[in-house]
C-alpha cells in the first residue's frame, strides 16, 4: 500500500509540476511577444471591446472610427503597455476647426482629461497648419511643429505615421495630392514602451486604415534618411518653421468670428414655453450641440430643444455652439424647432450631464436635456429601426435606452441582464420614441456612454443550480475518496492478516505438531504400564485440539478462502471440521432470500461469530443437531445458530468470555446480537447485520450518522 500511495503522490506531483511549467512557459512567450508586434497588423476598429475610451463620443461605421465630440483630449486606446519599438499609421480627417487630431504611442496611465496620460502624440493641427509631435506627462511638451503646405484642411484625409525606435521618433503626414511633410527628434529621457491609440483635441475627427508594425533603425532611416535626429527641445509657441506675427496666428479665428456674429435677438430656450400654442412663431436660439443623430438636440443654460429637420451650413459635432432659426412648436414638456436654418458659431466644451433619478426624469422636467441616470438592465434587444434598445428599471420606474447599432454588436452581447448601468444621454418623453411603453427614454450619443457599475447579482437561478451541482460533485468526489481510502485500509488489514496467518502456520501450528510428535514418542518409550500414561494421553488430546483450533483460526484469517466459498460454505466447512472424528452431532446449514454480495468485513465477522457459536454448542451443550441459517432481507442479512442442547440460564454473572466476544464483534459492524436460551431448551444465537444497497449510499449514511453522533437504525426486529 505504501508503494501505491507513493506512486500516486509522485504522479500528482509530476502533473502539477508539468502544469506549472506549461503555464510559466506560455506566460513567458506571451510576455516576449508583447514587446514587439509580430508583423504588420491591420488594427480592427470594429471590435470596440479591444478599445478603451477616455472621453469623447466614439462611433464606428463602414471602416471608419469617428469622434463626434469637440471635447478636449478625447482618447481611444488599445494594445499592450509592453510594446516598445513600433510604428502606427492611419488616415486622419479633422471634422471641425481650431483643433488637432492624430495618433498616440507608448502611452500608459491614461485618464480622462487634457493630456492626462504618459506618452507621445503626433498629429495635424489646422489652427496653424502644422504637423506636431509632443510628449504628455499630465502636461504638454511640444517638440515638433512643422508647417504643412499648402495648409491643413478640415474634411480632408491625411495619412499620418509616427515611428519610435529606442529614443528616436519620426513623424510624417501625406496629403491627398501626395505632398509629404516629415520630421524627427531624439528624446534622451524617453518613455520606452506603452500602448497606442487615437486622440483629438477641441474638434471631432475620423480615423481609418489603422496599422501597427514592428520598427527598426532601417525603418527610421527610410523616413528621414541618414540624418541624426536632433535632440528634442520643447517649442515655446507652435509657429512652424519661421516665426509668424501674433496677428497672423489668430487670423483664422478673427475671420470666423467676423463671419459668425451672433443674432442679438436670440431667445433662451426655456422662453419658448411662453409662446402661443395656436400660432407658428419664428424664433432664433443659441445652444451647444448635445446629440447629432438621429435627431439634432441643443441645450443652453435654461433647457433643451429638439431640431427634427435642419439645414446646417457645416458638419456639426457634439459641443459645437450653434445658432438655429426656425418655426417653434410646443410639446408637452419641451419645444421643437422645425425647418431650422442652423449656423455654426464656434467649437465649445461639451455640455456636462445633469445627474437625475428615474423618478425625476419621469416628470418631464428634463425633457430634451443631457442627463446622467442609473438603472438595472431588465432586457435588451436589437431593433432594425431604432438600433439597440435597452429596457431598464430603477425603483418603481421603467425606462428605455436607445443607441445606434453600428459597431456595437460585440459590446451589446457583453451587456448582462440585471447589471447595474450608468447612462449619459438625452432624456426624451415623446411617445414617438417611448411608444407609450415607459414614461421616458434616453438617447445615447454612443455606446461608450454606457458604464457598467456592477454585474448581475450572483444569486441567480443559474448560479444556484451551478452551486448545487458543484456541491454534489464535491460530495461525490469526497465520498469516492472516502471509499478508496476505506478500500486501501481494508486491503492493508487483509494483507496484514494474510502475513500473520502465514507466520502462525509456520510457527504456532508447526509447534503444536512438534509437541504432539514428542508426546507420542515419550508414550512409546514408557510402554503401556506407566502410571503417567493418562496424563500423557490428556496432553496429546489437548495438543491435538489446540492444533485443530490453530488451523481453524489460520483458515479464518485468510480472506481469499471466504471469498471463494462464500459465507454459507465457510460455515458449513467449519461446522464439519468441528464435529468430525466420531461426533454424532448433525449440522444443517441453509440460506434463504435473495443472496447479495456481502462486504468482506461483515462476512468475516459473521463467520467468526458462527465459529464461536458452533464451538460452544459442541463443547458444552451436547446437542443432537445444530441448525445454521442465513436469511437475506431488504437492507441486511440475518444469521441464526440454534441447537437442541442443554442450554443454560442467561444472567449477567454467567455471561462468559465467548458471549461477550461475539457481542463486541457484532457491535463492530453495527449488527444486533441476541442470545435466547434456557436450561433444557437449547440455545439460539441471532445476529442481524445491515448491508448497504450501494457503496455511495452506505458511505453517505455512515458519514451522516457519524456527524450526528449516533448509530443508524435499520429497523429490523430480532
Confidence of residue 552 (pLDDT cuts 50, 70, 90): low
Beta strands in 493-646 (DSSP E): 586-592, 625-633, 636-643
Q: Which of 234, 253, 272 is the last residue of a domain?
A: 253
Mean pLDDT of 619-631: 89
What region, left, alpha or beta, does residue 365 occupy, with left being phi > 0 and alpha being psi -120 to 50 degrees? alpha
pLDDT (mean) for 131-151: 93
CA-to-CA distance for 481 and 478, rounded, in angstroms? Answer: 5
pLDDT of residue 696: 44
Asked if residue 93 and residue 195 are part of one domain, the reply reads: yes
Cell of 222: 527610410
Q: In this structure, what CATH number is given to the domain that contains residue 600? A: 3.30.565.10
CA atoms within 13 A on the CB side of 602: 17
Beta-carbon contacts of 331 under 8 Å, excluding residues fewer than 6 positions away, are 367, 430
- Do 13 and 86 belong to one domain? no
Backbone angles phi, psi at 202, to 5 degrees: 65, 20
Residue 231: which residues within 8 A CB-CB, separation 6 or more?
185, 186, 188
636 and 589 within one domain:
yes
* pLDDT for 718 beyond 60: no
Residue whose grid cell is 506560455:
26
Residues 88 and 159 in one domain: yes
86 and 146 part of one domain:
yes
pLDDT recorded at residue 585: 84
| CATH code, domain carrying 386 | 2.40.50.140
What pLDDT, on the 0 to 100 scale, is given for residue 523?
Answer: 77
Answer yes or no: do 338 and 359 share one domain. Answer: no
Q: How far apart are CA 126 and CA 98, in angstroms?
A: 6
Instruction: Write the secondary structure of 331-344 as one string of H (helix), E (strand) and C (coil).
Output: CCCCEEEEEEEEEE
So what's the pLDDT on residue 239? 42
- Name the pLDDT band for 49 (thresholds 50, 70, 90): confident
Of residues 2 and 558, the one with the higher pLDDT is 558
The count of C-alpha atoms lying within 13 angstroms of the C-alpha of 421, restricted to the half-sphere facing its C-beta, is: 28
Is residue 116 helix, strand or coil? coil
Q: Judge whether 284 and 262 are in contact, CB under 8 Å.
A: no
Residues 6+ apart with CB under 8 A from 147: 128, 129, 130, 131, 181, 240, 241, 242
pLDDT at 582: 57
Whether residue 20 has pLDDT greater than 80: no
Q: Are 345 and 321 in contact (CB under 8 A)?
A: yes
Q: Kindly report the backbone phi and psi dihedral angles of residue 124, in degrees, each rounded to the nearest multiple of 5, phi listed first.
A: -115, 140
Looking at residue 717, its pLDDT comes to 33
Tell me: the pLDDT tens digits for 419-431? 999 999 999 998 8
Residues 342 and 364 in one domain: no
Mean predicted confidence (pLDDT) in 64-81: 90
pLDDT tier at 260, thresholds 50, 70, 90: low
Q: What pTM, to 2 d.p., does this model score?
A: 0.57
- Band (pLDDT 50/70/90 cuts) for residue 238 is very low
Residues 606 and 539 in one domain: no
Q: Average of pLDDT values for 626-651?
A: 89
Query: Which of residues 429, 454, 479 is at a domain's end?
Result: 454
Mean pLDDT of the chain: 81
From 253, 287, 302, the end of a domain falls on 253
Q: Which of 20-29, 178-187, 262-271, 359-368 shows the lowest mean pLDDT across its residues? A: 20-29
Domain containing 330 — which CATH number?
Answer: 2.40.50.200
Question: Which is more confidently placed, 251 or 599?
Answer: 599
Q: What is the pLDDT of residue 509?
A: 65
Regarding whether 522 and 480 lie in a shared domain, the answer is yes
Confidence of residue 506 (pLDDT cuts 50, 70, 90): low
Q: Are residues 602 and 698 in the same domain?
A: yes
Average pLDDT of the segment spanning 197-210? 93
Do 120 and 234 fall into the same domain? yes
φ/ψ (deg, to 5) at 446: -155, 170
Mean pLDDT, range 54-60, rounded to an integer: 87
Contact status, residue 423 vs residue 415, Cβ threshold 8 Å: no
Measured between alpha carbons, how far is 77 from 665 in angstroms, rounded to an integer? 77
- Least confident window among 18-22, 191-195, 400-404: 18-22
Find, among 206, 202, 209, the residue nearest to 55 by Cα.
202
Lowest mean pLDDT among 49-63, 254-268, 396-410: 254-268
- pLDDT of 240 strictly over 50: no
Task: Average the pLDDT over 432-452 and give the result.
Answer: 88
What distance in Å separates the CA atoms of residue 51 and residue 74, rounded to the nearest whole number?
Answer: 13
The answer to whether residues 70 and 126 belong to one domain is: yes
Q: 496 in helix, strand or coil?
A: helix
pLDDT winner (highest mean) among 366-380, 652-666, 704-718: 366-380
Question: Where does the pLDDT of residue 299 fall: very low under 50, low under 70, confident under 90, or very high at 90 and above?
Answer: very high
Angle between helices 533-556 and 559-579 in degrees, nearest 10: 150
Percent of the chain with pLDDT over 70: 81
The set of cell numbers assigned to 507 is: 510457527
Per-residue pLDDT band at 716 (split at 50, 70, 90): very low
| 199 and 94 Cβ atoms separated by less than 8 Å | no
Residue 650 has pLDDT above 80, yes or no: no
pLDDT cut 90: percent of the chain above it:
36
Question: What's the number of domains the chain is made of?
Answer: 6
Q: What is the pLDDT of residue 499?
A: 78
Burial class of residue 649, CB neighbours in 10 A (0-12, 13-18, 19+)? exposed
For residue 249, the model assigns a pLDDT of 47
More confident residue, 263 or 622: 622
Average pLDDT over residues 520-524: 78
DSSP per residue, 251-301:
HHHHHHHHHTPPPTT-B-GGGGGGS-TTS-EEEEEEEEEEE-SSSEEEE-S
User: Does position 549 have pLDDT exceeding 90, yes or no?
Assistant: no
- The C-alpha atoms of residue 196 and residue 189 are separated, in whole angstroms, by 19
Q: Say if residues 331 and 218 touch (Cβ distance below 8 Å).
A: no
Arithmetic mean of pLDDT, 511-524: 77
Distance (Å, rounded) from C-alpha 17 to C-alpha 25?
Answer: 12
Q: Which residue has the cell 425633457?
A: 367
Residues 6+ apart with CB under 8 A from 619: none
Using CA atoms of 283, 288, 293, 295 in order, give the dihedral in degrees to the nearest 10.
-20
Confidence band for 559, pLDDT divided at 50, 70 and 90:
low
- What pLDDT score was predicted for residue 657? 67
Q: What is the reported pLDDT for 190?
A: 95
CB 213 within 8 Å of CB 39:
yes
For the ranges 31-45, 169-183, 329-343, 454-468, the lowest mean pLDDT is seen at: 31-45
In the predicted structure, residue 709 carries a pLDDT above the cut 90: no
- Over residues 332-349, the mean pLDDT reads 84
Residue 449 per-residue DSSP state:
G
Q: Which three cell numbers stand for residue 503?
A: 507466520
Q: What is the CATH number of the domain that holds 189?
A: 2.60.120.560
Q: Compute the distance between CA of residue 599 and CA of residue 704 in angstroms, rounded to an integer.
A: 20
The boundaries of the domain holding residue 366 are: 354-454
Q: Which span out of 16-20, 203-207, 590-594 was modeled with the highest average pLDDT?
A: 203-207
**N- to C-terminal Cα distance for the chain?**
40
Beta pairing partners, 154: none
Amino acid at each position: 500500500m505504501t508503494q501505491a500511495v507513493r506512486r500516486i503522490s509522485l504522479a500528482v506531483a509530476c502533473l502539477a509540476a508539468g502544469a506549472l511549467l506549461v503555464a510559466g512557459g506560455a506566460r513567458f512567450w506571451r510576455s516576449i511577444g508583447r514587446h514587439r508586434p509580430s508583423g504588420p497588423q491591420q488594427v480592427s476598429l470594429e471590435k470596440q471591446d479591444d478599445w478603451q475610451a477616455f472621453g469623447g463620443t466614439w462611433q464606428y461605421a463602414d471602416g471608419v472610427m469617428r469622434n463626434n465630440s469637440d471635447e478636449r483630449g478625447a482618447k481611444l486606446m488599445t494594445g499592450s503597455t509592453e510594446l516598445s519599438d513600433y510604428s502606427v499609421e492611419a488616415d486622419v480627417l479633422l471634422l471641425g476647426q481650431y483643433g488637432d487630431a492624430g495618433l498616440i504611442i507608448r502611452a500608459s496611465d491614461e485618464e480622462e482629461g487634457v493630456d492626462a496620460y504618459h506618452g507621445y502624440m503626433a498629429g495635424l493641427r489646422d489652427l496653424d497648419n502644422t504637423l506636431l509631435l509632443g510628449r504628455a506627462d499630465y502636461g504638454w511638451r511640444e517638440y515638433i511643429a512643422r508647417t504643412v503646405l499648402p495648409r491643413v484642411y478640415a474634411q480632408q484625409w491625411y495619412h499620418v505615421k509616427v515611428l519610435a525606435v529606442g529614443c528616436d521618433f519620426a513623424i510624417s503626414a501625406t496629403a491627398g495630392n501626395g505632398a509629404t511633410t516629415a520630421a524627427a527628434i531624439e528624446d534622451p529621457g524617453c518613455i520606452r514602451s506603452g500602448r497606442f491609440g487615437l486622440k483629438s483635441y477641441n474638434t471631432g475627427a475620423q480615423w481609418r486604415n489603422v496599422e501597427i508594425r514592428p520598427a527598426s533603425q532601417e525603418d527610421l532611416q527610410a523616413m528621414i534618411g541618414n540624418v541624426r535626429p536632433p535632440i528634442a527641445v520643447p517649442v515655446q509657441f507652435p509657429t512652424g518653421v519661421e516665426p509668424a506675427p501674433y496677428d497672423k496666428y489668430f487670423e483664422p479665428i478673427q475671420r470666423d468670428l467676423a463671419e459668425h456674429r451672433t443674432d442679438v435677438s436670440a431667445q433662451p430656450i426655456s422662453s419658448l414655453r411662453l409662446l402661443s400654442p395656436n400660432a407658428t412663431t419664428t424664433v432664433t436660439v443659441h445652444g451647444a450641440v448635445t446629440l447629432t443623430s438621429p435627431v439634432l438636440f441643443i441645450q443652453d443654460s435654461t433647457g433643451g430643444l429638439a431640431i427634427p429637420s435642419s439645414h446646417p451650413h457645416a458638419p456639426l459635432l457634439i459641443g459645437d455652439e450653434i445658432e438655429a432659426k426656425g418655426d417653434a412648436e410646443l410639446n408637452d414638456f419641451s419645444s421643437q424647432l422645425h425647418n431650422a436654418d442652423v449656423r455654426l458659431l464656434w467649437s465649445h466644451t461639451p455640455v456636462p450631464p445633469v445627474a437625475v433619478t428615474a423618478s425625476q426624469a419621469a416628470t418631464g422636467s428634463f425633457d430634451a436635456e443631457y442627463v446622467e441616470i442609473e438603472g438595472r438592465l431588465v432586457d435588451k434587444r436589437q431593433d432594425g429601426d431604432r438600433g439597440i434598445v435597452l429596457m431598464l428599471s430603477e425603483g418603481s420606474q421603467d425606462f428605455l435606452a436607445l443607441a445606434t447599432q453600428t459597431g456595437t454588436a460585440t459590446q451589446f452581447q457583453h451587456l448582462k441582464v440585471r447589471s447595474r448601468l450608468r447612462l449619459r444621454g438625452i432624456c426624451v418623453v415623446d411617445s414617438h420614441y417611448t411608444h407609450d411603453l415607459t414614461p421616458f427614454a434616453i438617447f445615447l450619443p454612443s455606446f461608450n456612454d454606457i458604464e457598467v457599475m456592477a454585474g448581475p447579482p450572483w444569486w441567480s437561478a443559474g448560479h444556484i443550480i451551478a452551486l448545487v451541482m458543484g456541491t454534489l460533485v464535491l460530495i461525490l468526489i469526497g465520498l469516492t475518496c472516502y471509499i478508496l481510502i476505506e478500500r486501501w485500509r481494508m486491503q492493508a488489514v487483509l494483507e496484514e492478516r494474510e502475513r500473520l496467518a502465514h507466520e502462525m502456520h509456520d510457527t504456532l501450528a508447526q509447534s503444536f505438531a512438534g509437541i504432539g510428535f514428542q508426546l507420542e514418542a515419550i508414550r512409546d518409550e514408557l510402554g503401556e504400564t506407566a502410571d503417567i500414561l493418562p496424563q500423557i494421553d490428556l496432553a496429546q488430546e489437548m495438543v491435538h485440539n489446540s492444533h485443530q483450533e490453530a488451523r481453524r483460526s489460520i483458515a479464518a484469517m485468510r480472506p481469499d478462502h471466504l471469498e471463494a466459498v462464500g459465507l454459507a460454505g465457510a460455515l458449513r466447512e467449519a461446522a464439519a471440521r468441528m464435529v468430525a472424528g466420531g461426533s454424532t452431532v448433525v449440522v444443517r446449514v441453509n440460506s434463504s432470500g435473495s443472496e447479495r454480495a456481502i462486504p468482506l468485513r461483515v462476512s468475516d465477522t459473521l463467520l467468526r461469530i458462527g465459529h464461536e457459536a458452533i464451538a460452544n454448542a459442541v463443547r458444552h451443550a451436547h446437542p443432537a443437531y445444530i441448525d445454521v441459517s442465513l436469511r437475506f432481507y431488504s437492507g441486511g442479512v440475518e444469521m441464526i445458530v440454534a441447537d437442541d442442547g442443554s442450554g443454560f440460564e442467561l444472567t449477567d454473572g454467567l455471561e462468559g468470555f465467548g458471549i461477550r466476544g461475539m457481542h463486541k464483534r457484532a457491535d463492530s459492524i453495527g449488527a444486533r446480537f441476541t442470545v435466547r436460551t434456557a436450561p433444557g431448551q437449547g440455545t439460539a444465537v441471532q445476529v442481524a447485520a445491515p448491508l448497504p444497497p450501494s457503496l455511495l449510499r452506505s458511505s453517505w449514511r455512515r458519514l451522516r450518522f457519524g456527524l450526528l453522533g449516533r448509530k443508524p437504525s435499520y429497523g429490523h426486529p430480532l
